[in-house]
């Protein structure tokens, strides 16, 4: 029985969809003004794992993740670069998709863009104007009346009274209340804009998700997800907009991925500890990064550090070494590990618990390999299948463990030649010479593993 931690209720709840067998899931995507960073990767991978598991368990999933391709940051960055906002966002969306493919993140079913959803956004704002939850200000902006919506703050725990007392009123304030937020920004000279019944402009940030989720899924979502910084104000404002316009619950289950810290500090450009996905992938195998991101529960914070990535590499090495040299099967009987894996994942998608099941499977596999037979093949096949449900063990074991030849490093050909020389030395009972070759390879990051089938090798950092 699937249980999900609901940010709204602050507890785990048994998942019950609106329509039996079907799930509508909307996840807030990226504002594409720069390359995606490791925090974005956390959200991408977390909901990729969730979507993979839901589909495998037989749910008919409609997974929607938007792209914000018009925004203040986009307009500023495009101006700095001397390019149009459209040219900037096109490049950044292409780069985002490259990063996702590298991390084995499957595309969502729908990926609506703000610029392609303007009719739906205009319709949504008009609904709010008609119901007097929104108003046109003297400067041409359209604002949402926060204090008209009963229940504002229920997701984040914010209180209207506290928000009101802490709000600052600017000298040129045109809002009825300092708590009101913008739905439509009147056009400034030279900015990209669209025509609306209330004047030229562009949408505010919050309205886009309410409009796109309604268009792609409906008035009520089964699951709404996003990053750790979104419950307030973004998701709080989405609730206010959507429930005012639609007259029903916006989302039944709210899920938020945890933050990424860097050596126990908040990731920030000002602290010079900010890493884009492509920065990280220049240094580490993409599957190592994916393992690292799934090694903590999706709701927990995760600490990005060299030691964390080395631990992820070591864990994957253990998995791939267990698979190395075993011929996998196309079919095999149900094994005892699947039920435990399902139990872990149905406990709010507990990937650390699921990985622990895989480690137990590896131990059993390594023991079975001492007397190779059908069970060895069954265990190896089960390991690859279950790991695949969280997007892992997708490479050939030799390719992962040995890596590609790199400039300045010992080559595959040279390694194989030294292994042959070592085998000759051992056959001639020159054990000192054989040990010397093993040590020579070890000093170059190459580890040998002897078995009845012969000598296998892998690089410590392939």
CA-CA distances (angstroms) from residue 339 to 202, 336, 358, 382? 50, 6, 12, 12
CA–CA–CA angle 360, 101, 460 (5° rounding): 50
- Does the N-terminal peptide bond of residue 233 adopt cis geometry, omega within 30 degrees of 0? yes
3-state secondary structure of 226: strand
Answer yes or no: is 209 a known binding residue.
yes
Give the start-end residues of each E strand in 174-310. Answer: 181-186, 201-203, 221-226, 251-256, 260-262, 265-266, 302-304
Answer yes or no: is 234 a known binding residue.
yes
Asked if residues 226 and 216 have their Cβ atoms less than 8 Å apart, the reply is: no
3-state secondary structure of 28: coil
Strands 251-256, 221-226: pairing kind: parallel
Answer yes or no: is 208 a known binding residue.
no
- For 177, which DSSP code? S
**H or E element at residue 437:** helix 431-442
402 Cβ contact list (under 8 Å, min separation 6): 412, 457, 458, 459, 462
CA-CA distances (angstroms) from residue 403 to 18, 319, 458? 47, 15, 8
Residue that is written with structure tokens 């938007």 in the block: 66
Answer yes or no: is 238 a known binding residue.
yes
Asked if residues 163 and 179 have their Cβ atoms less than 8 Å apart, the reply is: yes
Q: Which of 311, 326, 309 is nearest to 456 (CA)?
A: 326
140: left (phi over 0), alpha (psi -120 to 50) or beta: left
Report how far residue 229's alpha carbon sits from residue 227's, in angstroms, rounded to the nearest whole number. 6
Q: Residue 63: beta bridge partners? A: 25
Helices (H), 57-196: 72-81, 85-102, 118-130, 160-166
Report how far residue 41's alpha carbon sits from residue 99's, in angstroms, rounded to the nearest whole number. 8
Answer yes or no: is 310 a known binding residue.
no
Number of residues written out for the chain? 462
Two tokens, residue 294: 């799934």
Two tokens, residue 106: 């499957």
Report how far residue 317's alpha carbon sits from residue 388's, in angstroms, rounded to the nearest whole number. 16
> DSSP string spanning 306-324?
HHHHHHHHHHHHHHHHHHT
Which residues are annotated binding-site positions for ATP?
269
Which residues are annotated binding-site positions for Zn(2+)?
28, 209, 234, 238
Which residues are annotated binding-site positions?
28, 209, 234, 238, 269
């Amino acid at each position: 029985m699937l249980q999900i931690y609901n940010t709204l209720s602050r507890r785990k709840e048994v998942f019950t969809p609106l329509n039996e067998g079907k799930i509508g899931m909307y996840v807030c995507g990226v504002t594409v003004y720069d390359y995606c960073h490791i925090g974005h990767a956390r959200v991408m991978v977390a909901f990729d794992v969730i979507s993979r598991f839901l589909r495998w368990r037989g749910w008919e999933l409609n997974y929607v993740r938007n792209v914000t391709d018009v925004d203040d940051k986009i307009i500023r960055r495009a101006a700095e670069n001397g390019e149009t906002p459209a040219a900037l966002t096109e490049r950044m969306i292409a780069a985002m998709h490259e990063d996702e493919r590298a991390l084995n993140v499957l595309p969502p079913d729908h990926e609506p863009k703000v610029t392609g959803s303007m009719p739906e956004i205009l319709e949504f704002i008009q609904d709010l104007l008609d119901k007097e939850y929104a108003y046109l200000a003297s400067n041409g902006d359209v604002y949402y009346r926060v204090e008209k919506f009963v229940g504002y703050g229920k997701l984040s725990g914010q209180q209207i009274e506290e928000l009101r007392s802490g709000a600052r009123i600017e000298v040129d304030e045109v809002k009825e209340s300092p708590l009101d937020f913008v739905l439509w920004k009147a056009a400034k000279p030279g900015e990209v804009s669209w025509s609306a019944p209330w004047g030229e402009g562009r949408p505010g940030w919050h309205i886009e998700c309410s409009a796109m989720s309604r268009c792609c899924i409906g008035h009520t979502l089964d699951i709404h997800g996003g990053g750790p910084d979104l419950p307030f104000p973004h998701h709080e404002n989405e609730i206010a907009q959507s429930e005012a316009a639609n007259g029903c619950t916006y989302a039944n289950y709210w899920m938020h991925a945890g933050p990424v810290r860097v050596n126990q500090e908040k990731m920030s450009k000002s602290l010079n500890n900010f890493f884009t996905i492509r920065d990280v992938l220049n240094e580490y195998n993409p599957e190592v990064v994916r393992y690292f991101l799934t090694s903590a529960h999706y709701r927990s914070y995760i600490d990005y550090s060299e030691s964390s990535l080395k631990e992820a590499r070591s864990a994957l090495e253990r998995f791939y070494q267990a698979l190395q040299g075993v011929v996998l099967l196309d079919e095999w009987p149900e094994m005892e590990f699947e039920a435990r894996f399902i139990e872990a994942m149905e406990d709010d998608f507990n990937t650390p618990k699921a990985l622990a099941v895989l480690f137990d499977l590896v131990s059993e596999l390594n023991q079975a390999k001492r007397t190779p037979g059908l069970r060895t093949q069954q265990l190896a096949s089960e390991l690859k299948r279950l790991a695949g449900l969280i997007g892992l063990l997708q490479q050939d074991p030799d390719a992962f463990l040995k890596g590609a030849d790199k400039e300045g490093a010992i080559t595959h050909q040279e390694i194989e030649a030294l292994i042959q020389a070592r085998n000759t030395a051992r056959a001639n009972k020159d054990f000192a010479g054989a040990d010397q070759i093993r040590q020579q390879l070890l000093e170059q990051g190459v580890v040998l593993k002897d078995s009845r089938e012969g000598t296998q090798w892998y690089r410590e950092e392939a």
